[in-house]
Amino acid sequence: MGITAYGRETGPRGEQFSLPTAYVESVRDAGGLPVLLLPGERDVERVLDAVDALVFAGGGDIDPALTGGAHDTNYAVDAERDRFEVALLAASLPRELPVLAICRGLQILNVARGGTLHAHLPDVFGEAVSHRVAPLDPTPHGVMLEAGTGLAEGFGAGELTVASWHHQAVDRPGEGLRPIAFAPDGVVEALELAGAAWLTAVQWHPELQQEPGSPQRQLFESLVERAIDRRR
């Protein structure tokens, strides 16, 4: 199960790649073998030959040149990671690889399909719903799932409480994408792609809600199950 990693950072021993362990443990707990996919790989087809499914992880903002506009709150923009993930996502779709896109991952999906993002949610939606609070401290809020969608059927519920940490979100959906879940203030919280065999894109962080009995666990379990079925 390929998981996209964060971009290059300078650490005590020079440049390094990183990824929060919650993504890795969520894949492991679901029965998958996690493999980190690092920015800078040029041959995405070779990368895809090595994995059975993809998890696009969260992280910093996407290059404003791709999203539709810059904002003074933009942070951790990484052109190398953007190029890799946009190419990886585009190449994965014809292969019908199962994909779980989380937070930034949903945004990568949207811009890869030609969509745009709201540059800073409080400027557009106000602060009635907190989508991001103190750094690295996710905030809970409700999400309404559109009835009849695969996401709503999978959760068996029309409303969830999710762990949120983002300040951007979908503005104009990309080609073939349809919003299927919303926060109470109208922010898009999930997308589906017409014709995709198995693609789940959520704006929240399910990897942070993996306690036993949590419905968020089934996103990773379904991803692994789909990957196994595809290999048979």
What Cα–Cα distance (Å) separates residue 10 from each residue in 58, 221, 230? 19, 34, 39
Q: For residues 95-121, give the mean pLDDT.
A: 97
Q: Sorting pLDDT into bands at 50, 70 and 90, what band is 105?
A: very high
For the chain, how many structural domains are there in total? 1
Catalytic residues: 103, 205, 207
Report whether pLDDT(135) > 80: no
What pLDDT, in 10s, does the model give residues 121-132? 999 999 999 999
Q: Which domain holds residue 166?
A: 2-231
At residue 98, does pLDDT exceed 90? yes
The answer to whether the pTM exceeds 0.85 is: yes
With bands split at pLDDT 50, 70 and 90, how would you rate the model's confidence at 212? confident
192: domain CATH number?
Answer: 3.40.50.880
